[in-house]
Amino acid sequence: MELIEKLGDWVNESKNIVVFTGAGVSAESGIPTYRGNDGLWEKYDPEKYANINYFYQDPSYYWNFFKEVRSPVLQKAKPNIAHKSIAKLESLGKLKSVITQNIDGLHKEAGSKNILELHGNTRMFSCIKCKTEYRMDQVNKLLEKHLPPECSKCNSLIRPQVVFFGENLNPIILSRAEKDLSQCDLFIAAGSSLVVQPAASLPLIAKNNGARLAIINIDPTPLDSIADLVINISVSEVFLKIVQGIKS
């Protein structure tokens, strides 16, 4: 496919690529976003489990959702070809960073180092009071004893290190993203509908700084008209061919 070859040429020419990933990349690892196809996801309302006010009002709602739905999905999910290819680009010295809307931690599992998780990481947790951090396996053990899980140091509530609805994005991560975009020569938006902020504006920042803009997404996005290249097929399929074609 000519479009993939063209993107492959650009990857070969670039030294400071920034890849931006959205839900489409997680979906290829079997992770549904807010509404999955199976009945379990429909049992829980994202207006509740993803909302910070509701989390403090009734933390057991989030933790029941986590135990029954999210944790089993995360334990099964493995990095796919897109995650692995992005990590490969970094190890070859071509990638500045991967910026992601996803909270599943799969870029880290694939071996990426410079990862900017705009919405946090749902495999990491911390005590709301003493800030002690917990991994998912530790929290799953605490959940067996008590729901919601309690901090083993101070017995306070434990929360996931994600950005809930009603919370601001981490300004440090945002400014790091903007810094990387100011230096990037190729911005690849992958598997994001580019509708919500900051997904809608990050490609513009890169483009205004002189980067080429490539969009890979199954469906059209509002930014297609300003992109230098648009590919409407699966992200994994594109990245597989690109990494195979890298000239060392």
Q: Residues with catalytic annotation?
A: 119
Smallest separation (angstroms) from Zn ion to the CB of 125: 11
Among 81, 151, 199, 223, binds Zn ion (CB under 5 A): 151
158 touches Zn ion by CB under 5 A: no
Instruction: Report the residue number, 59 or 111, with the smaller CB distance to Zn ion.
Output: 59
Q: Is the dihedral of CA 156, 158, 161, 167 positive or negative?
A: negative
Q: Is the Cβ of residue 60 or residue 155 nearer to Zn ion in the bound state?
A: 155
Per CB under 5 A, contacts with Zn ion among 224-243 are: none
Q: Around Cβ 155, how many Cβ atoms within 10 Å?
A: 11
Q: Is 154 in the site for Zn ion (CB under 5 A)?
A: yes
Residue 3 burial by Cβ neighbours in a 10 Å radius (0-12, 13-18, 19+): middle
Number of residues that bind Zn ion (CB under 5 A): 8
- Residue range at the interface with Zn ion (CB under 5 A); choices 12-20, 91-99, 106-114, 147-155: 147-155
Distance CA 7, CA 3 (A): 6
195 makes contact with Zn ion (CB under 5 A): no
Q: Which of 153, 166, 196, 233 binds Zn ion (CB under 5 A)?
A: 153
- Residues contacting residue 81 through CB under 8 Å, at least 6 positions apart: 28, 236, 239, 240
CA-to-CA distance for 26 and 32, rounded, in angstroms?
Answer: 7
Q: Which is nearer to Zn ion, 156 or 182 (CB)?
A: 156
Number of residues assigned to the chain: 248
Distance (Å, whole) CA 31 – CA 102: 10
Write the CA distances from 183 to 7, 108, 211, integer angstroms. Answer: 19, 23, 8
Least gap, CB of 146 to Zn ion (angstroms): 14
> Is 144 in contact with 71 (CB distance < 8 Å)?
no
Non-local CB neighbours of 21 within 8 Å, separated by 6+ positions: 82, 86, 98, 99, 100, 101, 102, 107, 190, 191, 192, 235
- Considering only 74-82, 92-100, 116-124, 149-157, which stretch makes contact with Zn ion by CB under 5 A? 149-157
Residues within window 104-143 making contact with Zn ion, judged by CB under 5 A: 127, 129-130, 132
Q: Is residue 179 a contact point for Zn ion (CB under 5 A)?
A: no
Q: Hey, which residues between 44 and 83 contact Zn ion (CB under 5 A)?
A: none
Judged by CB, which is closer to Zn ion: 33, or 132? Answer: 132
Residues that bind Zn ion (CB under 5 A): 127, 129-130, 132, 151, 153-154, 156
